[in-house]
Amino acid sequence: MPRPWTLLDSVATPEGLLELRRRGERDFMISIAGRVLMTSMITRSELTLAERGCGAIAHVRAPRVLLGGLGLGFTLRAALDALPSQARVVVAELNPRVVEWCQGPASGAASAAALDPRVEFVAGDVTEEVRRVAENPGLPRYDAILWDLYVGPGDAPAAERDPLYGKTSVRRAFAALSPRGVFGVWGESPTPTFETRLKKTGFTTELVRTKGGGLHHLVFLGTRPLS
């Protein structure tokens, strides 16, 4: 008989109750309004996002990486493992309670990634940090911008105006990147219109599919050219 999940903490959000649960000592789950957002048992696509995104900037001695969304910290852990000691990783997380979870009761899920001294947390929407850098030429660019959000790009009629994946957002990501910088986005399924927006903006694109059993999520990768 499966072991039951134990509620460790919860916080009210505009989308519903955000909950952290644990099963045994090693299994963790975050849900919102009863919908499972992530678990420590299914992490393949998150790891692929970080490994491919950070692997593409291995030539940079002291890279700057922006990660949108913390979750249970698996994407952050994989990014840190792929980056040199001089790297700086800025994590934009909407809910400060999630940071507390990853630094406290759920820290063991991703080997205490949220406690790494290379990491800086920014409370808020990742698109605001991208906009801030994109619109201020005097600020340093990011070498990689990786979005691990719980809703990926979609093909809805209004998708081009989507605040996360629409035309304006993609253009700002392009402007906030250094030459040869990488924009990596977690997705639930192929989204041709999003790939088209990446290409029209100037990115060289690649669609990376995860392998193995279970859910087959994927990663959109866009690389900014040298010029």
Q: Is 178 among the domain residues?
A: yes
Paired strand residues for 17: 12
Q: Residue range 16-38: average pLDDT?
A: 95
For residue 94 the two structure tokens come to 């909407």
pLDDT for 1 beyond 80 = no
Q: Is 81 among the domain residues?
A: yes
Residue type, 101: W
What are the CA-CA distances from residue 42 to residues 166, 167, 221 (Å)? 28, 31, 21
CATH number, position 149? 3.40.50.150
Higher pLDDT, 227 or 1: 227
Q: Is 122 among the domain residues?
A: yes
Count up the domains in the chain and report the number.
1
DSSP 140: P
Q: Is 5 among the domain residues?
A: no
pTM of the full predicted structure?
A: 0.94
Q: What is the pLDDT of residues 87-111, one digit of tens each?
A: 999 999 999 999 999 999 999 999 9
Q: What is the pLDDT of residues 160-187, one digit of tens each?
A: 889 999 999 999 999 999 999 999 999 9
